Structure 1
Amino acid sequence: MRTDRASEIIRLVGHKTTHPSENSSEFPVNITDCAQIIMPEEVFFTIAFLGIVENLLVLIAVWKNKNLHSPMYVFICSLAVSDMLGSLHKTLENIIIILCKKRYLTCQEDFEKTIDDIIDFMFILSLLGSIFSLSAIAADRYITIFHALRYHNIMTLQRALIILMVIWAFCAGSGIAMVIFSHETATIVSFSILFCFMLVFILSLYIHMFLLAHSHARKIALLPSTIHQKANMKGAITLTILLGVFLCCWAPFVLHMLLMTFCTLNPYCVCYQSIFHVNGLLIMCNAVIDPMIYAFRSPELRSTFKRLFCCRKPRWT
């Protein structure tokens, strides 16, 4: 069981320890002067708990407020579920470690492997779910801005749910495959290519949106749809912030994966690997930051939170 690190996306990033109570390092021998930065498990557990609670509140708010029953917020709920999985995997790992250390569980090799596979699957599902949810949100914003008059015909709630079913089915299948073939270099390469491809897709949509919106800004300034257009652009800006946070939180880990696979002996690569726990902490922080962005950028969602906390009768009922 991996005891002194955040869970990897696949076991190729490190080797298993022999027993959860052995707090041994799983990093390769550090041939540089870079000291490994170890983050306490309590810190991971606290941040994971906050991420679970915050994203659960987002799901409850969208479910309670019928005004939020739209494709955009359905995709936001998908992103919230991905963030929750990212927090749950670390919470589950900590609980298992504690139970094994207290001897409440007999952590034999087969049991350790099964738990590791489950935790890895949740972690992969969280990352892939986040990537595809952000892609779906980007596509939804694109349609909203450039096909505003046909949006409700193109993107219905039923179609949004079907899209999410396809996305999560693909993510689940990919997650299972990555866990099974975790020691194959091709798995790392395929995942990295998918990660980069989806980010290029999202960035391409955003660049196209902002360039065309800027060129048409003066032409539509006097039209009645100006307010609606500004609201759509605000949504696009919100998703741009989400994408930026996602990149800052996940890209260091993806880089770590690549270095562990293709640059195992270079002193600079090994030095970067010494901050693995910091990269893991960034991943956990992503689940905490995303709901804050929703609440800050969405007046309707912010109002829903206030009514939930103040136990006031909602107007949407």
Structure 2
Amino acid sequence: TSAGTSASSSNVTDCPEVVIPIQIFLVIGFVSLSENLLVVVAVIHNKNLHSPMYCFICSLAAFNTISSLSKTWENIMLVFRDAGHLNSRGAPELRIDNVMDTLLCMSFVGSVFSFLAIAADRYITIFHALHYHKLMTMRRTAAILTTIWVLCSVSGALMIRFFEAAAVKIFFVVVFFTALLFILLLYVHMFLLARYHASRIAAMPGSAGHNRRSGLKGALTLTILLGVFVVCWAPLSLHLLIIMICPENPYCECYRSLFQLHVVLLMSHAVVDPAIYAYRSAELRNTFRKMCFTIATSLICCRCVTDTLLRVY
């Protein structure tokens, strides 16, 4: 992409650039796009999933869908470019590339803010269980999601429009590490309090105890999601940091030569997340099974109808 260049060939380095076959990018993009679309449709379709937590998860899946779509489309353009059907320096191609990069940056910022929203929701679920439904209404959830999407859309456009400015790269890195630090601090506080309340949960009657146990389970799910997010996005953030700190150092160039591997990790994030949802949520698993059964039944019926029509004619 124009927004994330790999190691510069003009700098002296003994580390050759690691090149990932385009087929791997296409397969990862297709799988992640399918999985995240399935999560979005499942949350919209199943009324039992119409809660603040699943709305934030749906938003995260939607950002992952955008990320997968942008990278898949970009790699398809690279295939056409290598075949000689596209000019990589042409004005239309550069505009499309900028749009794809904008969507990618938007999905990054959106993922960060979605994790923050899910973390805050889990905190309220665990420690304010009796007042959760008053604090986290669907109207407030919709307002939070609207704010996140508007903010991320504007941020993504500005980050690509002024990407050559050092301030934009700094903003990209600062957003990642600041959000990560905030979530980690929230988690330390959350689990310290959780240890204090753990002995009281079993003895707590009614829905409050159930909500708190559910909140702890949701917090564990978020911990796994956050860990995957850090593993997949941190290398690219470090890549941008190195561009600013040591753009011509041979040792830095060795790390920057791994740029395509960093992009593979970035795209893999959108593949792993839906698997975590399905593993941690019984409701989502059941919804996935019903949707897959419906799709399979529809395909069988369509084939039967097609075969029948072919025999008739």
State TM-score, norm by structure 1.
0.87
Amino acid at match of 1:277: Q
> What is the CA–CA distance in structure 2 between the aligned matches of 1:198 and 1:135, rounded to whole Å?
7
- The one of 274, 295, 299 aligned to 2:257: 274
Q: Does 1:111 align with 2:92?
A: yes
Structure 1 residue 164: Cα displacement: 0.7
- TM-aligned CA deviation for residue 310 of structure 1: 2.2
Query: 2-side partners of 1:228 and 1:140: how far apart?
Result: 12
Aligned residue number for residue 79 of structure 1: 60
Aligned counterpart, 2:32: 51
Q: Cα gap change, 1:62/1:276 in structure 2, threshold over 3 Å: closer, same or farther?
A: same
Deviation for aligned residue 1:142: 0.7
Question: Number of aligned pairs?
Answer: 293
From 182, 192, 200, give the equivalent of 1:201.
182
**Residues 63-106 of structure 1, C-alpha deviation per residue, up to 9 Å, x if partnerless?**
11100011111100110011111111111112223334445556
* Correspondence list, 1:302-313, <5 A: 302-311=285-294
Give the match for residue 17 of structure 1.
none
Offset at residue 30 of structure 1 (A): 5.2
The offset of 1:146, in angstroms, is 0.9
Post-superposition CA distance 1:18-57 (Å, at most 9, x none) = xxxxxxx863445232222110111001000000000010
Q: Percent identity?
A: 48
Contact 2:129 2:211 in 1 (8 A): no
Q: 1:249 to 1:108 in 2, by over 3 A?
A: closer
The separation in 2 between residues aligned to 1:218 and 1:133, in whole angstroms, is 31
Asked if residue 242 in structure 1 is aligned to residue 215 in structure 2, the reply is no
Scaled by the length of structure 2, the TM-score of the pair is 0.89
CA distance in 1, matches of 2:14, 2:185: 41
What residue number does 1:128 align with?
A: 109
Distance (Å, rounded) in 2 between the aligned partners of 1:285 and 1:246 = 10
Gapped regions of structure 2 (runs ≥ 5): 296-313
Distance 1:28 1:226 in 2: 60
**What amino acid maps onto 1:32 in structure 2?**
T
Asked if residue 214 in structure 1 is aligned to residue 178 in structure 2, the reply is: no
Task: Kindly indicate whether the alpha-carbon contact (under 8 Å) linking 2:7 and 2:17 is maintained by their aligned counterparts in 1.
Answer: no
Higher mean displacement: 80-89 or 92-101: 92-101
Task: State how 1:146-295 maps to structure 2 within 5 Å.
Answer: 146-224=127-205, 225-295=208-278
CA RMSD of aligned residues (A): 1.8
**One-letter amino acid matched to 1:92:** W
Is the Cα–Cα contact under 8 Å of residues 7 and 259 in structure 2 kept in the other structure? no
CA contact (8 A) 2:172 2:237 kept: no
Identify if the C-alpha distance between structure 1 residues 197 and 50 changes in structure 2 by more than 3 Å, giving closer, same or farther. Answer: same
Offset at residue 226 of structure 1 (A): 3.5
Provide the secondary structure at the position in 2 that maps to 1:219: helix
Structure (1 or 2) with the greater helix fraction: 2
The amino acid across from 1:50 in the alignment is: V
